[in-house]
Amino acid sequence: MDKMVAYKEKVQRGLTSNVGLYTYPILQAADILAVDADLVPVGKDQVQHVEITRDLAQRFNQEFGSDVFKIPAHRVPPEAGVLPGIDGEKMSKSYGNDIDPFQEEKALRKRVMSIKTDSKGVDDPKDPEESAIFQIYRAIAGKEDPRTLALADRFRTPGMGYGRAKQALFELLMDHFGPARARRLELMAKPELVDHVLNRGASVAREKASATLARARKAVGLD
């Protein structure tokens, strides 16, 4: 009986996953098109979702002879299209390998220090392009930032261990996100303000989405 239950659960998970392959891109497209988005910031692996959204919008507009949906474009950060996580794989919160810059300081430092590295020692030169530490650092500081260039040189020069590189990344995170971390603490102490802003944003989004839906209904003859 236990084996049968386990088998049924496995089948259900598989069906859900397969259906999701079709429904999830549609849900993403609806979120984008409903608010007349002009530009969608995405990672490199999400570009195809915006392309699907564009295809759906263009096909609808062509079929019903109306510019109901705005055709959105995508924007991929040049140095952060795909970021590695602490395990070296693509960073994703769902994978549990992300770095939350708003963590408490000790927890954040521990997280950074847990980034996976190879076995090269302090006296070995290292390729910064192969290091998750450097890739994350560059994405935050910027490719041409003097600090990034200096860290790349330190990687290539014998005498720097990964521990020092991780410390440099931690300090960058604290410096770069310092104002935002402070602001977040302020907002956490004012939940009523946060609720007000969220409710106001939801109201604006609903109004925008209702107008888009009305245009679509009229175009297909349902209004």
DSSP 68-101: -S---EEE--TT-SS-B-TTSSB--GGGT----T
pLDDT at 20: 64
pTM of this structure: 0.78
Which residue among the candidates 10, 110, 190, 218 is catalytic per the annotation?
10
Instruction: Measure the CA–CA gap between 98 and 111, rounded to whole angstroms.
Output: 9
CB-CB neighbours of 4 under 10 Å: 8
Question: At 26, which amino acid appears?
Answer: I
pLDDT (tens digit per residue) in 148-194: 999 999 999 999 999 999 999 999 999 999 999 999 999 999 999 99
Instruction: At 215, list the tokens.
Output: 């245009």
Which residue among the candidates 8, 44, 70, 90 is catalytic per the annotation?
90
Please measure the distance between the N-terminal and C-terminal CA atoms of the chain and give it in whole angstroms.
Answer: 53
Instruction: Measure the CA–CA gap between 47 and 59, rounded to whole angstroms.
Output: 18
Instruction: Measure the CA–CA gap between 41 and 153, rounded to whole angstroms.
Output: 31
Residue 6 confidence (pLDDT) above 80: no
pLDDT at 148: 97
10 is catalytic: yes
Contact 32, 56 (CB under 8 A): no
pLDDT at 57: 96
Instruction: At 199, list the tokens.
Output: 């409710």
- Of 97, 94, 108, give the one whose Cα is nearest residue 184: 108
Angstrom CA distances, 71 to 20, 36, 44, 100, stand at 24, 8, 19, 33
pLDDT (tens digit per residue) in 51-86: 999 999 999 999 998 899 999 999 987 766 678 999
116 is catalytic: no
pLDDT at 63: 94
Q: Is 62 exposed, middle or buried (0-12, 13-18, 19+ CB in 10 A)?
A: exposed
Structural domains of the chain, ranges and CATH numbers in brackets: 2-76+190-219 (3.40.50.620), 93-181 (1.10.240.10)
Instruction: Measure the CA–CA gap between 172 and 93, rounded to whole angstroms.
Output: 21
- Of 112, 101, 80, 111, give the one whose Cα is nearest residue 180: 101
pLDDT confidence tier of residue 1, bands split at 50, 70 and 90? very low
Which residue among the candidates 3, 44, 70, 93 is catalytic per the annotation?
93
pLDDT at 14: 55
pLDDT (tens digit per residue) in 12-50: 555 455 666 678 888 999 999 999 999 999 888 889 999
110 is catalytic: no
